Amino acid sequence: MRIVFRCDPALEPYLPRPVPARAALPDWLRRMGNRAFSPTHGTEVRTVKQCPPFVDAMSYGFIMPLPCDVTVANGALSWHWDVPEPSVHAHPRAPISFHVPEQVVDSPLHQPDQFLVKFNSFWTIELEPGWSLFATHPVNRPDLPFRLLTGLVDADRFSDVGILFPAQWTDPGFSGVLPRGTPVAQCFAVPRVVPDLVFETFSPERATAYDSTATALLAVPGVYRRRFRARRSRSGVQEGAQAAGTEA
C-alpha cells in the first residue's frame, strides 16, 4: 500500500509529518509493567502490555499529529503558530476550528453548551484505487482529553484537500498544553469491498481444534504469539510492539 502525503510548499518546513502508529506509542505503555498483582486472583497477572492484539491495534496504520502546541485554559483553546502565508488561497491557517453543537443534535454526542472541535489537516492523503481511509480516535487512548469521531473517506478519489478530523472534547476540566505532535487521529487503508458473511456450525474437526486451542491458551502464556500471530516485517507493527516492551 502506497500512501502519498502532500502539503503546501510554504508550510512544509513547519509541519510535523504523519508517522507510523508504532512510532507514536504513548509513554504510559512503555512505562507499564508486564505484570501486576491482582487481589482477585491473589497472585500476579499479565497486563495488557503482554497482549499482542492490544499493542498491535495501537501500532497499526499511521498517526496524524497536531501541528503546533495548543494551550487549554478555562475551556478556551489558543495557540501561537508563526507560519508564513500558505501559497494556496483556500488553505486553512488555524490548527483547530469548530462544529456548532446543532450539527450533532439528537445524537449522544450533543451537548447544548459544547462545540465540537475540528482538527484541521495540513496534509492531503492519497490512497491507491479501490481503497478508503478509516480514521478513528488513537486506539486505546482514553488519556487524551478529546474523542475523535470515526470516519471513512474515499481517499483514492478525495485527495485534493486535507481531511478534517472532528472530535468531542471529553474532559472539560482539562487545563494545560496539548504539545505539537499529539496524536489527533489514527488512520489506515481499508479495501472498499462488501464482505461475504458465511455462517456454519462446527464440524468434528473444528470442534476438536476449538478444544485443543482453548486448552493450550489456558495452560501456558504466549500461545497466540507463537502459533497464530502473523510475522511482521521490521518496518511493521512488530517493531512497535517490541519498542513497547511486550512479549508480542
Mean pLDDT (the chain, rounded): 90
Which of the pair, 221 or 242, is modelled with greater confidence?
221
Question: Cα angle vertex 163, ends 161, 166, to 5°?
Answer: 145
Measured distance CA(234)–CA(225) in Å, rounded: 16
Does 70 lie in the same domain as 171? yes
Residue 248: pLDDT band by 50, 70, 90 thresholds? very low
Whether pLDDT at 61 is above 90: yes
Q: What is the mean pLDDT of residues 147-151?
A: 96
Q: Supply the pLDDT for residue 233.
A: 66
Residue type, 33: G
Does 237 lie in the same domain as 220? yes
Does 103 lie in the same domain as 173? yes
Does 157 lie in the same domain as 86? yes
Lowest mean pLDDT among 127-136, 147-156, 205-214, 234-243: 234-243
CB 59 within 8 A of CB 248: no
Whether pLDDT at 245 is above 70: no
Does 24 lie in the same domain as 10? no
Whether pLDDT at 50 is above 70: yes
Does 125 lie in the same domain as 78? yes
The single-letter DSSP state of residue 161 is S
Q: What is the mean pLDDT of residues 146-154?
A: 96
Residue 244: pLDDT band by 50, 70, 90 thresholds? low
Does 208 lie in the same domain as 153? no
Task: Output the domain CATH number for residue 135.
Answer: 2.70.40.10
Measured distance CA(86)–CA(10) in Å, rounded: 6
pLDDT tens, position by position, 3-39: 999 999 999 999 999 999 999 999 999 999 999 999 9
Of 170, 193, 216, the residue at which a domain comes to its end is 193
Which residue range is the domain that position 97 belongs to?
Answer: 1-16+66-193
pLDDT tens, position by position, 102-128: 888 888 888 877 788 999 999 999 999
Does 157 lie in the same domain as 71? yes
Does 186 lie in the same domain as 84? yes
In the sheet with 146-148, reading across from the earlier edge strand, the strands are 96-99, 116-119, 165-169, 146-148
Does 107 lie in the same domain as 160? yes
Question: Could you write out the DSSP letters of every residue in 17-79?
Answer: PPEEGGGG--HHHHHS-SEEEETTTTEEEE-GGG-HHHHHHHTSSEEEEPSS-EEEETTEEE-
Q: What is the mean pLDDT of residues 223-229?
A: 88
Does 144 lie in the same domain as 110? yes
Q: What is the mean pLDDT of residues 171-190?
A: 95
Q: Provide the number of structural domains found in the chain.
A: 2
Whether pLDDT at 229 is above 80: yes
Contacts of 51 (CB under 8 A, 6+ apart): 246, 248
Q: Supply the pLDDT for residue 235.
A: 47
Does 105 lie in the same domain as 71? yes
* Neighbouring C-beta atoms of residue 15, cutoff 10 Å: 17
Measured distance CA(46)–CA(221) in Å, rounded: 9
